[in-house]
Structure 1
Amino acid sequence: MRTSAGIWWESTGAGAPVLLINGLGSTSTSWFRLLPELHDFRVITFDNRGVGRTGSSPEPFDLATMAADAVAVLDAAQVDRAHTLGLSLGGLIAQELALSYPDRTESLMLVSTHAGIPHLTVAASAVATVAALPPGERSRALAPILYAKQTPAAEIARDEETASVIPTTPEGLRSQLLASTTWDRYADLHQLAVPTLVLHGREDRLVPLSAGEKLAAAIPHADLVIIDNAGHRLFTDQTTTSAAALKSFLAQTTLSTAQPPQPPPRG
């Protein structure tokens, strides 16, 4: 299905809505490990502007536009508010969504992400160089910094095979990268008033743990959960452990939002 803005999306399952926002250059096929873990929820996935079935945009775009695309997906799915999970670049989009459309965000799950390129020690130019490579070479070049050292090669190959079904063009990847490099709302993060989980792999070499710690510290009452033996692709490195952290957070959040406020005790 497509939104009026041409964004491809789909919805599976029933229950409280959970919106998943992909990372740089990834399509919704990348969620294949996590989707079975979220069977108790209505999960909404989509292909960001620039990739997959949504396709490349002829004009440059920014993260505000990508957040508006996510809202268009919620509108098309007839969802007022959703628990929003953003991975890597998707985490930046999720932050922009929560800041610009606070009435559409039930909670935030920020995975393997950061507070903007200016607050990240990894140079965007290095990623841009890799972005120019053909898809197969790109995957091989990125693998050493995306996964934990002990992750089986077969699991990495499975990720690459899934991604190759709908390959991302270098042009689409560069457009998304450019959108991310101009985004910085670190000074506004204190405004976030929704339950927030920051989930990070201890061995993340693309977005170091220190960036996740800085992000969690900037958001009021955010929970920081660190996954051992996991890198940037922690849903591949430690599928069960990382999914369990998400489900625990969602269980607590859905329970608290489902319960009506209690009247103060009478003195």
Structure 2
Amino acid sequence: MEVGMQTTAGIWWESTGEGEPVLLINGLGSCSASWFRVLPALRDYRVITFDNRGVGRTGHRPEPFDLATLASDAIAVLDAAGVTRAHVLGLSMGGLIAQEFALSHPDRVSSLMLVSTHAGIPHLTVAASAVATMAALPPGERSRALAPLLYVDQTPAAEIARDEEVASAIPTTSEGLRSQLVAAAPWDRYADLHQLAVPVLVLHGREDRLVPLSAGEKLAAAIPHSELVVVETAGHRLFTDQTTTAMDAIADFLARAA
């Protein structure tokens, strides 16, 4: 396993495996450790993960930043890893970063996977204020408060507890979470999505309470030739709710896009 620090931005990243590169971009408040359910299904690829500003081993940064900065950080990670082009998977807020990445640097993207995400908060029908309020809570309370929005009712408590255990190993501070919310709030490139020319998969849980399926449908409709796959009995954390089904969709898409 190759591990490196991108010193120009202080972004922590790691690379595992061999094959075509796949870059994974985390959602709001999540660090790279949260990909533990996804990595086994990507064993035939070189998988590059990193911690966005504000979370994990990168940590909170005092200077303000926006989504374009986060996309530039992702480019810096690929540069540090010696990767010219990658398949890019963005989850939730990571999907916004992935869209910005692909629109600003189309030559660096082989394909795009947008999971549990949307076309920007201005196009989201759920109030972001609820998440902003929860950002002020201590990490443990924050996880418990968010759980009803993240999982379906059928998700085993043990699986939710496993997610919380991984998240608590390197807890995200309220300051780090707020800085990411501030970065994401104004982002809006909905009018530019028609420019995306690479293969695009939009993967969404039918019962997502945080980012409703309608947001995923709107996103897919704005991207020419995109493919929308809806995962049944799955919420926002569809990799927890329906790991096998979700990863089968990812694996099938990558096999066709490679």
Q: TM-score range by the shorter chain?
A: over 0.9
> SS of 1:199's equivalent?
strand
Alpha-carbon distance, 1:155 to partner: 0.2
> In structure 2, which of residues 228, 231, 234 is the aligned counterpart of residue 227 of structure 1?
231
User: Which residue in 2 is equivalent to 1:204?
Assistant: 208
Identity %: 80
Q: Please say if 1:2 is aligned against 2:31.
A: no
1:107-186 pair list within 5 angstroms: 107-186=111-190
**Secondary structure class of the residue paired with 2:27:** coil
Q: CA deviation at 1:149?
A: 0.9
Please report how far the alpha carbon of residue 59 of structure 1 lies from its aligned counterpart in structure 2 after TM superposition: 1.1
Deviations, residues 178-216 of structure 1 (Å, cap 9, x unaligned): 111010000000000000000000000000000000000
Structure ID, larger Rg = 1
| Partner secondary structure for residue 32 of structure 1 | helix
Instruction: Please name the residue that 2:98 is paired with.
Output: 94
What is the distance in 1 between the residues matched to 2:159 and 2:54? 26
CA RMSD between the two structures: 0.5
Other-structure match for 1:257: none
SS in structure 2 of the partner of residue 40 of structure 1: coil
CA distance in 2, matches of 1:126, 1:159: 21
Letter in 2 for 1:160: E
- Partner residue in 1 for 2:19: 15
Task: Give the SS at the match of 1:231.
Answer: coil
How far apart are residue 118 of structure 1 and its match? 0.7
- Give the structure-2-normalised TM-score: 0.98
1:55 CA displacement: 1.0
Aligned residue pairs: how many? 254
Alignment partners' CA distance in 2, 1:122 and 1:134: 23
Query: CA separation in 2, counterparts of 1:75 and 1:5?
Result: 12
AA matched with 1:187? A
Q: Which residues in structure 2 correspond to 1:26-37 (within 5 Å)?
A: 26-37=30-41
Q: Deviations over 1:31-79 (max 9, x none)?
A: 0000011000000000001111111111111000000000000000000
Q: Moved runs in structure 1, 4+ residues, more than 2 A?
A: none
Deviation at 1:81, TM superposition (A): 0.3
TM-score by length of 1: 0.95
Matching residue of 1:79: 83
Match of 2:142, SS? helix
| Alignment correspondent of 2:195 | 191
CA distance in 2, matches of 1:36, 1:98: 25
**1:101: Cα distance to partner?**
0.4
Letter in 2 for 1:9: W
Distance in 1 (CA, whole Å) between partners of 2:52 and 2:146 is 20
Stretch deviating more after TM superposition (49-58 or 242-251)? 49-58
Q: Please give the alpha-carbon distance, in whole angstroms, between the structure 2 residues aligned to 1:153 and 1:99.
A: 39
Report deviation, 1:123: 1.1
What is the CA-CA distance between 1:104 and the residue it aligns to? 0.5
The letter of the residue matching 1:81 is R
Aligned mates of 2:99, 2:213 — CA distance in 1:
18
Distance 2:121 2:218 in 1: 13
| Offset, 1:2 | 1.0
Structure 1: segments with no counterpart, 5+ residues: 255-267
Letter of the aligned partner of 1:2 in structure 2? M
Unpaired runs of at least 5, structure 2: none
Q: What SS does structure 2 have at the residue aligned with 1:198?
A: strand
